[in-house]
């Protein structure tokens, strides 16, 4: 056993020290050429993500040469060709089916799921990028260490005192930042053009609660790397239309705020058919620009939502990159404040003031551009039109979560939440029902956590507890009838199972498990 542990540490150290020097493979759409295009367009797999996650058994150039010859045969069978030349990833602890015990309490079910959802992958395999430490995946079709999912997974791991796993996952992100300069959506080559909501500072703060404030100093270089990624391009703003470059936007008053973006303007490889179909039905729009907005929507984690649409019911009107998102900028405020706190520990007064000033200015800008006095709620801001988007969503509670709302604003937000968002089963994500998964009638675990914590920050304990109990009840309703925890829930009616979006409802499910475990643990005797 000791030998196995030592061997394990050596393998992790090898990836940590040298893995960032290895060149990442190309994204499957770039590496596989016609094979990729034909497999996706002919829908060999119902879910486009299935193929881009497979591992080629030969070098991609050899595969392309063989494919060009093979498909000239009138009897050529593309499905057989793929089955012969590609295989699925097999990683540690990945089991074919999780057998749920219907008599098992939900807390025990979650504890057993953590092992089932644990993965270990120390070498690149197809599109899957090696990571030095073990990690927990969301589940279902999501078999990678996803960025913002991981924070909510960590909340549940903390309940189980799985601090080694939490720290290993944070170290994986430090590794990815050394290798790529940012945290991608997940450790897949086809995600290397975009990130996700920046929760890294929250992960570091979570670990600091266990190990002490020195953790902030330990991860300060990576907090700064994350910050530089989101703020890149300041020198180029003056030459850009609408004074926006990559993820950075200069507002009309000179303040800097951020947007979601993507570095590519092609269809997402894992959603090729969905994106090309959207573009095909939007003949009046430039396809490349449309793909950028779809990709930016994917970086937001809210893929997709009426938040990003000009017409709330029509994805063809998506314009994500034109929008200053309230949630993103609150998270970056928290990042700036965390960096300032790390410098405080190091007793660096100039740097403390520098980053605290950045945080204060961002908070003021959020209040200036994203507070809708008439609605009594925080909203996203369309910097192309110089006006709020008018879409009310649970993203508007992030200023309470990061404590930048005034007491008056928090009171108004609490009223709107109770009056408009709160349903029998919890909170709807937006007030629009349009078949998108990040809209009504769906409720999501991470947003319930944000709202509950945000309300508590301003003393609205009764409302927070009401929301908590309704959300737990919805989770339990599905667990008792289906013996599983799922990605999203219908909080308005029916059996509680969520719907909508580009793929079937997934079970597993990482952040649902994490948030439910964290909320239920609050009621356990200490």
What does the pLDDT profile of the chain (526 residues) look like in tens digits?
Answer: 555 566 777 878 788 777 767 788 899 999 999 999 999 999 999 999 999 999 999 999 999 999 999 999 999 999 999 999 999 887 555 555 677 787 899 999 999 999 999 999 999 999 999 999 999 999 999 999 999 999 999 999 999 999 999 999 999 999 999 999 999 999 999 999 999 999 999 999 999 999 999 999 999 999 999 999 999 999 999 888 899 999 999 999 999 999 999 999 999 999 999 999 999 999 999 999 999 999 999 999 999 999 999 999 999 999 999 999 999 999 999 999 999 999 999 999 999 999 999 999 999 999 999 999 999 999 999 999 999 999 999 999 999 999 999 999 999 999 999 999 999 999 999 999 999 999 999 999 999 999 999 999 999 999 999 999 999 999 999 999 999 999 999 999 999 999 999 999 999 999 999 999 999 999 877 6
Boundary of a domain, candidates 194, 227, 260:
227
Boundary of a domain, candidates 227, 244, 279:
227
Domain shared by 237 and 195, yes or no? no
Domain shared by 402 and 454, yes or no? yes
What is the C-alpha separation between 226 and 89, in angstroms, rounded? 29
Domain shared by 241 and 222, yes or no? no
Does residue 91 lie in a domain region? Answer: yes
Q: Give the DSSP per-residue string, 241-265.
A: GGGEETTEEE-TTS-EEE----S--
Does residue 259 lie in a domain region? Answer: yes
What is the C-alpha separation between 418 and 202, in angstroms, rounded? 27
Does residue 331 lie in a domain region? Answer: yes
Boundary of a domain, candidates 176, 203, 227:
227
Domain shared by 456 and 326, yes or no? no
Total tally of structural domains belonging to the chain = 3
Domain shared by 332 and 434, yes or no? no
pLDDT for 28-87, tens place per residue? 999 999 999 999 999 999 999 999 999 999 999 999 999 999 999 999 999 999 999 999
Does residue 476 lie in a domain region? Answer: yes
| Domain, as residue range, for 265 | 233-380
What is the C-alpha separation between 358 and 470, in angstroms, rounded? 38
Q: 234, exposed or middle or buried, with CB in 10 Å at 0-12, 13-18, 19+?
A: exposed
Does residue 135 lie in a domain region? Answer: yes
- Which residues are catalytic, by number? 303, 487
Domain shared by 181 and 48, yes or no? yes
Domain shared by 374 and 495, yes or no? no
Domain shared by 28 and 167, yes or no? yes
User: The domain spanning residue 94 has which CATH number?
Assistant: 1.50.10.10
| SS3 of residue 430 by DSSP | strand
CB within 8 Å of 158: residues ≥ 6 apart: 166, 206, 210, 518
pTM given for the model: 0.96
Does residue 387 lie in a domain region? Answer: no
Domain shared by 189 and 57, yes or no? yes
């Amino acid at each position: 056993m000791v030998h196995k542990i030592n061997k394990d540490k050596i393998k992790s150290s090898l990836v940590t020290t040298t893995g960032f020097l290895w060149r990442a493979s190309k994204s499957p759409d770039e590496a596989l050429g016609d094979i990729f295009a034909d497999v996706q367009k002919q829908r060999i797999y119902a879910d486009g993500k299935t193929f881009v996650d497979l591992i080629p058994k030969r070098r991609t150039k050899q595969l392309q040469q063989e494919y060009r010859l093979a498909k000239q045969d009138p009897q050529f069978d593309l499905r057989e060709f793929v089955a012969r030349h590609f295989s699925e990833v097999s990683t540690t602890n990945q089991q074919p089916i999780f057998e749920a015990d219907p008599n098992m309490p939900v807390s025990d079910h979650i504890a057993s799921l953590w092992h089932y959802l644990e993965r270990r992958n120390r070498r690149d395999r197809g599109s899957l990028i090696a990571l030095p430490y073990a990690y927990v995946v969301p589940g279902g079709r999501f078999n990678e260490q996803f960025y913002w999912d991981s924070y909510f997974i960590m909340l549940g791991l903390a309940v189980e005192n799985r601090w080694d796993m939490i720290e290993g996952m944070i170290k994986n992100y430090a590794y990815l930042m050394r290798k790529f300069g940012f945290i991608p959506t997940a450790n897949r080559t086809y995600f290397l053009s975009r990130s996700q909501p920046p929760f890294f500072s929250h992960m570091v703060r979570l670990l600091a609660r266990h190990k002490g404030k020195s953790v902030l100093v330990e991860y300060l270089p990576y907090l700064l790397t994350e910050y530089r990624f989101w703020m890149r391009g300041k020198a180029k703003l003056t030459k850009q239309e609408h004074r926006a470059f990559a993820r950075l936007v200069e507002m009309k008053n000179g303040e800097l705020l951020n947007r979601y973006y993507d570095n590519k303007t092609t269809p997402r490889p894992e959603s090729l058919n969905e994106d090309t179909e959207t573009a095909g039905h939007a003949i009046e729009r430039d396809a490349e620009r449309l793909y950028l907005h779809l990709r930016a929507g994917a970086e937001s984690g809210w893929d997709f939502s009426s938040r990003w649409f000009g017409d709330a019911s029509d994805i063809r009107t998506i314009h994500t990159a034109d929008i200053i998102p309230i949630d993103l900028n609150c998270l970056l405020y928290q990042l700036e404040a965390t960096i300032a706190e790390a410098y405080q520990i190091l007793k660096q007064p100039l740097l403390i003031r520098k980053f605290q000033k950045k945080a204060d200015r961002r908070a003021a800008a959020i209040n200036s551009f994203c507070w809708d006095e008439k609605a009594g709620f925080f909203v996203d801001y369309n910097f192309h039109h110089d006006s709020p988007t008018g879409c009310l969503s649970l993203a508007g509670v992030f200023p309470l979560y990061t404590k930048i709302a005034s007491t008056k604003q928090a009171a108004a937000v609490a009223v709107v939440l109770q009056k408009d968002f709160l349903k029998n089963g919890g909170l709807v994500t937006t007030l629009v029902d349009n078949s998108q998964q990040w809209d009504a009638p769906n409720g999501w675990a991470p947003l319930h956590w944000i709202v509950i914590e945000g309300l508590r920050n301003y003393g609205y304990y009764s409302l927070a507890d009401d929301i908590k109990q309704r959300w737990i009840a919805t989770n339990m309703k599905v667990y008792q009838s289906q013996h599983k925890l799922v990605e999203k829930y219908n909080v308005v009616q029916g059996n509680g199972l969520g719907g909508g979006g580009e793929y079937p409802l997934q079970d597993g499910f990482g952040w649902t498990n994490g948030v439910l475990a964290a909320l239920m643990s609050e009621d356990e005797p200490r």
